[in-house]
Amino acid sequence: MISRSMLGGVWRYRGFIAGSVRREFQAKYRNSLLGAAWTILNPLAMIVVYTVIFSQVMGTRLQGSTGHFAYSIYLCAGVLTWGLFAEITSRGQNVFLENANLIKKLQFPRICLPIVVVLNALVNFAIIFGLFTVFLAISGSFPGWSFLALVPVLGVLVLFAIGLAMILGVLNVFFRDVGQFFAIVLQFWFWFTPVVYPATALPQDIRPLLAWNPMAAVVQACQGILLDGRLPHWKGLVPVTVLALLFCALGMHLFRKRAGEMVDEL
């Protein structure tokens, strides 16, 4: 999918990639009184709100789970997992448009731009998920060694998001409606994924349709690990893994084939 020359170009421009990630992180909190402290306050507020509202006020319970924070953990696991996917795809679909001036003025491997998007999303996710992990430990809900199973699951998610983002990013340069359309699709996709509700809440005749939702398997795997300490059903992740590889291959093919035309179109 990625040629040796492309990898070499990325390595030579590693300073550009690292600098871009750092500048974007700093720009997010520039001219704010608390600065980078917002990276902790925002996710901390989200975790507190979910915990207080759903565990204390609403008293929501999950079928088969008796823990006091069961629904809060379930919800945070789903929202954080989906948030990583949504950030990579939403930012990735516009990455070439947003950096049009940079692409026109400078000569550098264009593949660096999607890499910057992914790294930024991973930095944001690491901060939020790190706080969530601290909450799990403090509340006595840490899942144990099964926590390590999140690494391959999240790896599949990132791979799937990268492939989809690359396809959308290239297409969006030539057909600007793609970005608008995907924003709508993403909203429906979110509600068709068991993030805020368990799959058992769906009618019996609709549940089989979740098998056609690649994000459902990933989100449910993360929720199972974090809520019950349950290892994922690895075979259930095979379809989304295959789809992720296909999307990455297609995305790289479109990128290599249309890279020159993108400059003229921008």
**What's residue 32's pLDDT?**
59
pLDDT tier, 216 (very low <50, low <70, confident <90, very high otherwise)? very high
Between 203 and 56, name the one with better pLDDT. Answer: 203
**What's residue 89's pLDDT?**
95
Output the furthest CA–CA distance in the chain (Å, rounded).
59
**What's residue 110's pLDDT?**
81
Spatial distance between the Cα atoms of 227 and 253, rounded to a whole number of angstroms: 39
Between 106 and 114, name the one with better pLDDT. Answer: 114
Report the percentage of the chain scoring pLDDT > 90: 38
Question: pLDDT, tens digit, for every residue of 25-54?
Answer: 777 666 555 555 666 666 667 667 766 666
pLDDT tier, 242 (very low <50, low <70, confident <90, very high otherwise)? very high
Spans of all domains in the chain = 4-265
Between 247 and 71, name the one with better pLDDT. Answer: 247
Spatial distance between the Cα atoms of 116 and 121, rounded to a whole number of angstroms: 9
Q: What is the pTM assigned to this prediction?
A: 0.88
Q: Which two tokens stand for residue 239?
A: 């379809």
Q: Which two tokens stand for residue 203?
A: 């009618």
Task: Choose the weakest-confidence range: 34-48, 89-103, 155-169, 215-229.
Answer: 34-48
**What's residue 12's pLDDT?**
82
Mean pLDDT, the chain, as a whole number? Answer: 84
Q: How large is the average pLDDT for residues 55-82?
A: 73
Of 93, 94, 155, 95, residue with least CA distance to 125: 155
Tell me the three state secondary structure of residue 142: coil
